Structure 1
């Protein structure tokens, strides 16, 4: 009896111990870099929906003790890496698990992993990556094109002279209408104009994680065709590190930028949010060419085990004064005269002070990335863009019938006109990728709907009149449908050889309908349809761990922009179509054709742990290239025509070297030879010495105007955790203002230097303060970045001047 009682007591005490051993387990593991296998220290390990968690040590190891039995999701996060989640079942045995985290940038190359991004040693195209630190060092208040001047064969400038206001970007001799720009994979080019209005997204430069510039056709498979190249922008968005920043920039020409940003970091390894608000303004280097804008960027991300979803909202209102027109050569040397702006009321013989561009553009992006399985990935993006605003400018001595006016005491009058636009765009970008051991296959597409209403009003008339306020004098609307289907296949022929095949089909439909009003007495209504089939193929060879080479052939096609076919704001123009037998317009016969590019590329790279050298040779053969004549319309925009055959060819070199002490040097060189093979250029209203109208000029074998013959850059700098600095010089060759290849109608080559210094007191003296100094054009060189010609008893050049020495100081406080 005593023995039985003792046995019962022992069992009662022992049962909880036995139960405890069966009801709880330990989870141990390791966190490593998926590319290198190196351990990751400081990773945050969280058992979701519990209080259990931990962190990895210097060897990447972690342990979580006494986890109750059950099913759990373990999430692991570390700054600079994608969040990784795995499902576990905690049964009777302890669990050992390894997390391989994918870097948000590929080691050494800062390439953000994205379907449209190129990867060194894998993608057979010419490209350059500009990482976040490089961008932040150069950025004070400039628009994005001005931050990309270290990219081979890329030329950029601003009409205001100091980097804010309308900026231009060109690659390999192609202007912005042939350069595809995306933000987080979403096309940014305006569907009507094909250009990207960077000043409508003010301070986006301060919210960029990195930018990849692809030269040539590249990886662009949807949106505006990339003829000259593409600019792929990735925003910072919601990050893994919590914090708040307040930043201010003060610079030359009354330039000011105030910025506030806040990020929550990752909450429970599942959510993160981020917000950024900015105020930017400048007086502009050129007189009365100022910009006044606000901007916002809001982002939220949810991280699930196999899925990441991000929602971005950004935009802001802008008011910008004009500086479209250049100045004559005799004004270039005098410091005050070279700042002349004919839109300025103080310089323009009575120009109205209200001339401006007033616009609000808002962007909405929903991005979803679903890892369906180990071998299948599905990406979907929905986007919406809404823009509305007006363009207000003063016109001299205009006829009343042009503007639907009735004047009492005069047959002509000065007036103020407002050109108004209200536009929207919706789009869907799906992409499905299947991965296997030595190949991958992607099928994707784009569906985009666009609509716009345009109308004009006369808001003020100088002479006595019977015109009511905001008298309407033109109106029209457009709508567009773009549908694209593409395939992208990568086949590993061997461990060192990759083949790539792409095929894209694009269907474009554009409808135009004009209102009968005032002097616009023709109810023009037409539809344009384009079907483009574009194949691409390439090969990448990894000779050894230090040497790689590639070759590719690509075809790209692009339709004319709307104003190439018909400038519907101008009463003196008619749509550019052929004629029927009864002299009516044949809307099935547009006189300006789509252009077709055949792009041949050959390149190679030599690299080691200290740096790299890249060399690329390209030959771009173009049929019906849509080229600028060098002339401008009445608001300063270029006039375009087709060139029957042309060639853009060149050599590009890009190099970088650094040492373990933090010193580095980089350089680039591009030699560009862009010329017409066959082109008869029509220039209206030009007469010979006998007074006879000249129908065209033969430009065959001439250089194509508007792009320098060579571009080069040299930069030397130093970086450590607390301090960084550089000095760089940009060398730019001669560029012709039109296609006549006349030296008197050209811009001389120039070189200009810049200086940067910054000190992060957070790393240095442990104060939450960052100081930055930017000096552009150190030696106050007087130079011109662009220009054009106009005809008045001969061709006369005008020039767009750049700012002399200008300085900015940025102070950032971190909380």
Structure 2
């Protein structure tokens, strides 16, 4: 391990002993000759700068080689030039006014810029296409720092999830074109509801920590900002297909008109994905479509997105019991068992459809102002169906029935738990950029959510005198979310000052308990103030150092409220996030190192405590923290060989943690811990991608991932933990063209090439039996070596 750290430290030193030159010049308007301050100039695009007040730009210490220099400026056509650098070069660029505006306004409003004092990773279209093999969306982000991804079914299709810095999706703010994607009530993100979304995505930014202000729930671990399809100037058609182990198959058709009449474009996608899953009875049947139409004017862009996803998955979310796993069966899914003879209910499934509508508008308001806004509506509806053995009729509000002198109090039954919801609202951002020194954004959103939770009985084994679709429970919820933020960046010489203030108001109405523990409609109102400040010092055009401090506040989720009475409601969580980092970037070498300290107040965690109906609840813990160092680097060792690597070393602790365990007498015992590890928070996460291009348009990549031990609860108990794992994949890609087909792409992804036996996620439900603590652990085993082959055709 010491050697690994030494090698990583040496790799991060920005020293390259190669011949280096400068590229400089001036950016001007072709017609007027006026200089264009604030133009963006990039090289390949690892190295980026902006022109100063006189339109002058300069890159220093650039190694000799061939580059593509790209210049972009809002309201002008982008220019790209091939250059062969073997000496200092002066290159002046003239830009022509564009007859159409671009969609850069929408992107810049919700994202960190190159010099922002926060930790982030950008993924462009090529990065996404390279890794889009048909697995869950989260796998696109698996190689970003501090990230752990897992699959319920074990083969990457179906329910997949992500943790960044140990924080799950409920603490990760996810936006799609600046519109919130997190569920308004439980705050999770379910990419299974949008299968094959990656095929319609243009770029992604992942911010770690609190990050910049954006719309939706507060970011407690990270933000994921996704932008879907942008403008294609020429018509295209694509056929994307994948097939592999465990009956996994994906088919997708992408088509686009290109720019019609200089103003209009239309794009569409239709996808389907199926998999049997690695775990038994963990199949997935997924479908989706994406339609987008846009109008490009001289100073405005209007885009309408209509897309939908459907998923049916067998309920594999309970994993495999530990005793079954230790007995050698890594695939046994006992959920849905009807009797002891291992007969299973075939329709133990989750079924959900979600339809999305987005109207996006960008407007350039003169040379200094720009505006972006959006209207959105999401309609979701679905249920999960399950079989219950000998369940009490009292649980369903049914009076026991007497037949032939026998009173029927229990019965086998099938029930459906429904969710029918509507989410709609608007977002806006007004940008002001008078010169290259100052940039300001005023943004915000108002969103409403209405969710109907209701449960039906579909069938009972015994006669109960209830009709089909008998509704035994209903909870109607409403949530409104208003936020407004102001953000500013100001350059003074080589120093960038950053400030960001956000106010957020939440109103939530739900069916809960009143002060006497009777069911009643309850409501809660919360007001949050989230300030952020930072500073960046530009050492030179290749490197900068930064520091920032940010405050985030996060509301409890639905189950936290519905399981508590007004007098014992959980408090909102508070986070203070300190980030300090260094970045270095040039075409053949880039690196960053970032230190973070995240101090939580009233973090909500599971303690083993139960609510009034016996369900596990979360409790506020006064003090907990995460502290660590993230490091990443990318080096082009030789023309065909490159290496990308990242690692995170952290300590994640909770102080004075109380654990409550039920004993044989039905009472609760308390065990108090002074200082323990936060659950699901490995102290080391590292990844590596070694890429070799033996011939033009071919790539062989060796991909590695290491995740250290993770505890399933907050007690640091070894018997309730996930073992560390080290997994390796191989990715093969080759692209070529033939007559009539612009590009033929063939690929092969070999996952877990050494067939490592490991579990990437799990859960624990301990209690006390006979005076001893007994663990009931469940794990999600991941598949041994498995394949995904792909064939992609572009016309």
Asked if these proteins are the same fold (TM beyond 0.5), I'd say yes
Computing the radius of gyration from Cα coordinates, the structure with the larger value is 1
Match of 2:415 among 417, 420, 424: 417
**Structure 2 vs 1, CA of residues 38 and 396 (structure 1 numbering), >3 Å: closer, same or farther?**
closer
- Partner residue of 1:398? 391
Q: Does the 8 Å contact 2:162/2:168 carry over to 1?
A: yes
Q: CA deviation at 1:733?
A: 0.3
Q: Which moved more, 1:223-232 or 1:264-273?
A: 264-273
> Structure 2 CA distance, aligned partners of 1:751 and 1:38?
35
> Structure 1 CA distance, aligned partners of 2:628 and 2:561?
31
> Structure 1 CA distance, aligned partners of 2:362 and 2:530?
27
- Partner residue of 1:460? 459
Q: Does the 8 Å contact 2:729/2:753 carry over to 1?
A: yes
Q: Does the 8 Å contact 2:77/2:95 carry over to 1?
A: no
SS of the residue 1:527 aligns to: strand
Q: Does the 8 Å contact 1:288/1:344 carry over to 2?
A: no
Task: Tell me the alpha carbon deviations over residues 301-352 of structure 1, each in whole angstroms, 9 at most, x when there is no partner.
Answer: 11111111111111122111111112233433676x1011112559974442
Q: Does the 8 Å contact 1:104/1:113 carry over to 2?
A: no
1:549 aligns with 2:545: yes
Task: Tell me the alpha carbon deviations over residues 142-189 of structure 1, each in whole angstroms, 9 at most, x when there is no partner.
Answer: 111122111111111111111111112111121211100111111100
Q: Does the 8 Å contact 1:104/1:112 carry over to 2?
A: no
Q: CA deviation at 1:136?
A: 2.0
- Partner residue of 2:469? 470
More strand by share: 2
Q: CA deviation at 1:560?
A: 0.3
> Structure 1 CA distance, aligned partners of 2:517 and 2:457?
18
- Partner residue of 1:341? 333
Q: After superposition, where does 1:323-342 map in structure 2 within 5 Å?
A: 323-332=316-325, 337-342=329-334
Q: CA deviation at 1:675?
A: 0.7
- Partner residue of 2:50? none
1:381 aligns with 2:374: yes
1:432 aligns with 2:424: no
**Structure 2 vs 1, CA of residues 565 and 700 (structure 1 numbering), >3 Å: closer, same or farther?**
farther
Task: Tell me the alpha carbon deviations over residues 498-554 of structure 1, each in whole angstroms, 9 at most, x when there is no partner.
Answer: 1111111111001124799xxx99441111000001111001111112221110000
Q: CA deviation at 1:138?
A: 2.0
Match of 1:602 among 565, 572, 580: 580
Task: Tell me the alpha carbon deviations over residues 602-653 of structure 1, each in whole angstroms, 9 at most, x when there is no partner.
Answer: 0111233212111011001110001244899999998422111101111101
- Partner residue of 2:760? 785
Q: Does the 8 Å contact 2:207/2:222 carry over to 1?
A: yes
- Partner residue of 1:757? 732
1:167 aligns with 2:160: yes
Q: CA deviation at 1:788?
A: 1.3
Match of 2:680 among 706, 712, 729: 706
Q: Does the 8 Å contact 1:404/1:471 carry over to 2?
A: no
1:36 aligns with 2:36: no
Q: Does the 8 Å contact 1:628/1:640 carry over to 2?
A: yes
1:797 aligns with 2:777: yes
Q: Does the 8 Å contact 2:106/2:372 carry over to 1?
A: no
1:614 aligns with 2:592: yes
**Structure 2 vs 1, CA of residues 406 and 60 (structure 1 numbering), >3 Å: closer, same or farther?**
closer
SS of the residue 2:761 aligns to: strand
> Structure 1 CA distance, aligned partners of 2:614 and 2:546?
41
- Partner residue of 1:671? 649
Q: CA deviation at 1:770?
A: 1.7
Q: CA deviation at 1:591?
A: 2.4
Q: Does the 8 Å contact 2:418/2:453 carry over to 1?
A: yes
- Partner residue of 2:692? 718
Q: Does the 8 Å contact 1:429/1:444 carry over to 2?
A: yes
- Partner residue of 1:576? 564
- Partner residue of 1:264? 257
- Partner residue of 1:539? 535
- Partner residue of 2:54? none
Q: Does the 8 Å contact 1:340/1:347 carry over to 2?
A: no
> Structure 2 CA distance, aligned partners of 1:291 and 1:138?
21
**Structure 2 vs 1, CA of residues 680 and 28 (structure 1 numbering), >3 Å: closer, same or farther?**
closer
SS of the residue 1:667 aligns to: strand
Q: CA deviation at 1:406?
A: 4.1
Q: CA deviation at 1:227?
A: 0.6
**Structure 2 vs 1, CA of residues 729 and 317 (structure 1 numbering), >3 Å: closer, same or farther?**
same
> Structure 1 CA distance, aligned partners of 2:644 and 2:339?
43
- Partner residue of 1:652? 630
Q: Does the 8 Å contact 2:594/2:631 carry over to 1?
A: yes
- Partner residue of 1:697? 671
Q: Does the 8 Å contact 2:213/2:500 carry over to 1?
A: no
> Structure 2 CA distance, aligned partners of 1:372 and 1:764?
46
- Partner residue of 2:791? 811
Q: Does the 8 Å contact 2:577/2:596 carry over to 1?
A: yes
Q: After superposition, where does 1:89-488 map in structure 2 within 5 Å?
A: 98-99=95-96, 113-120=107-114, 122-332=115-325, 337-343=329-335, 349-408=342-401, 409-437=407-435, 438-488=437-487
**Structure 2 vs 1, CA of residues 396 and 361 (structure 1 numbering), >3 Å: closer, same or farther?**
same
> Structure 2 CA distance, aligned partners of 1:60 and 1:176?
36
Which structure is higher in RCO with an 8 Å CA cutoff and minimum separation 6?
2
Q: CA deviation at 1:463?
A: 2.3
Q: Does the 8 Å contact 2:479/2:507 carry over to 1?
A: yes
Q: Which moved more, 1:541-550 or 1:784-793?
A: 784-793
> Structure 2 CA distance, aligned partners of 1:675 and 1:542?
34
> Structure 2 CA distance, aligned partners of 1:251 and 1:659?
33
> Structure 2 CA distance, aligned partners of 1:697 and 1:565?
25
In structure 1, stretches of 5+ residues that fail to align are 1-25, 40-57, 62-73, 81-95, 567-574, 578-586
Q: Which moved more, 1:173-182 or 1:520-529?
A: 520-529
- Partner residue of 1:66? none
**Structure 2 vs 1, CA of residues 60 and 605 (structure 1 numbering), >3 Å: closer, same or farther?**
closer
SS of the residue 1:133 aligns to: helix
> Structure 2 CA distance, aligned partners of 1:521 and 1:590?
11
**Structure 2 vs 1, CA of residues 726 and 556 (structure 1 numbering), >3 Å: closer, same or farther?**
same
- Partner residue of 1:563? 559
> Structure 1 CA distance, aligned partners of 2:653 and 2:208?
18
Count of matched residue pairs: 713
SS of the residue 2:716 aligns to: coil
> Structure 1 CA distance, aligned partners of 2:157 and 2:358?
25
Q: CA deviation at 1:752?
A: 0.5
Task: Tell me the alpha carbon deviations over residues 448-469 of structure 1, each in whole angstroms, 9 at most, x when there is no partner.
Answer: 0111111100101122322211
**Structure 2 vs 1, CA of residues 177 and 364 (structure 1 numbering), >3 Å: closer, same or farther?**
same
Q: CA deviation at 1:738?
A: 1.1
